[in-house]
Amino acid sequence: MKEIKEKWIYLDNNATTPIDKRVLESMMPFLTHNFANANSTHQFGRHVSSVVRNVRKQIGELIYAEPDEIIFTSGATEAINLAIKGVAASYSHKGNHIVTASTEHAAVLDTCRYLESKGYEITYLSVMPNGLIDLNELKSSLRNDTILVSVMYVNNETGVIQPIKEISQLSHEVGALFMCDGTQAVGKLPVNVDELDIDLMSFSGHKFYAPKGIGGLFLRKRGNRVKLEALLHGGGHEGGSRSGTLNVPGIVALGKASSIAKEEMLQDAERIKALRDELESRLLKFPGAYVNGDVRNRLYNVTNICFPCQDANVIIGRLKNISVSNGSACTAAIIEPSHVLRAMGLTDEDAFASIRFSAGKFNTKEDITATIEAINTIIMPILI
């Protein structure tokens, strides 16, 4: 592999984040000498099992859940599949209607399309031009046979934050469960599953400085306990919800990332927002440039900017040592306009002219300055 000698400027933190060195250090002993299976009954295994129990507590403290309400998965995609398919199977006696939004991540949309092929009825809510759903449309879509409403907390492409508490309240009024894809929120924003009245919530470690391959699902067990049919069978791990040998190194890393986030996220947010705002204000000086999505209700690290009459792929390709994105990393290989931006009313041309910049806690002011200068050298000659 060719060595990259220039400094790499990474502004694609919504796709994945670098591992915090403290997180890496915490997991290393469990890749070397603390390698026991957490489900083994010998003393070595019981020690590792106690570590896993402590991680459940760490994650619970981050999102205000009980430790036994945390199910470990390989990431948010698995958690989403487990949640939606599991609810569909467990509550089919009540109905077969599910409500979601047209701007959800592919993990939600593809799972819902799969269920449609099995006879379930799915309502895909539209969004307003600012990316927010219309609560009146949601209310009119809910029925007595609605079993689940699934709306993401923070949109991965625009950073738009949905009114989660209002959505959960409307869902519960008709006896439906509310599932939230919290992938872009957990570890970045204060999330309280009790205050928001969330029944199920997915999250992924690599979105907040833990490694890839580890995530989880919050599954409410207090009050009206949520029932969930398992996807994976073979040992009854995770309380029967998800069989498979636990990824202990990843779990330990997720716990450490959760503890760091709880202590530092607000401080990080203030600094990251200042970097994002500086970048955004400078880039909006290009003729016709505008921000996609609601600028008041969005995550502090994201700006999705349309540069009319430009080709985002060309710009990205010419940013040799700068990483930015033109959409979700999970669908970036598909040469189609962003389904999120199209749902917000953008034309194909403007969707293809839009770039997402997502900063993280390791970015610096120098990164922002260099990015502005690099884009300036690419776009200005075209404008001239």
Residue positions annotated with a catalytic role: 330
Residues with Cβ < 8 Å from 18, sequence gap 6 or more? 10, 209, 360, 362
Alpha carbon distance 176, 100 (integer Å):
12
Record the tokens describing residue 66, joined without a space.
């009980």
Q: Is residue 312 a contact partner of residue 352, using CB atoms and an 8 Å limit?
A: yes
Instruction: Write down how long the chain is.
Output: 384
- Tell me the helix, strand and coil percentages in the chain, rounded to 5: 40, 15, 45
**Closest by alpha carbon to 154, among 357, 302, 265, 267?**
302
CA–CA dist 128, 344 (Å, integer): 6
What is the bridge-based pairing of β-strands 200-204 and 215-219?
A: antiparallel
For residue 121, list its beta bridge partners. 97
Contacts (Cβ under 8 Å, ≥6 apart) of 23: 209, 210, 211, 253, 256, 257, 260
**Residue carrying structure tokens 């759903």:** 133
Rounded CA gap, 297 and 199, in Å?
Answer: 23
Report d(CA 108, CA 198) in Å as an integer.
17
Torsion angle in degrees (nearest 10) through CA of 320, 323, 328, 330: 80
Smallest Cα–Cα separation from 163: which of 88, 266, 155? 155
Name, in order, each residue with C-beta under 8 angstroms of 384's C-beta and a sequence gap of 6 or more. Answer: none
Element (H, E) at 266: helix 248-283
SS3 354: strand
What is the C-alpha separation between 39 and 28, in angstroms, rounded?
20
Query: Would strands 302-306 and 121-125 be described as parallel, antiparallel, or unpaired?
Result: unpaired
Q: Round to whole Å and give the CA distance between 216 and 225.
A: 18
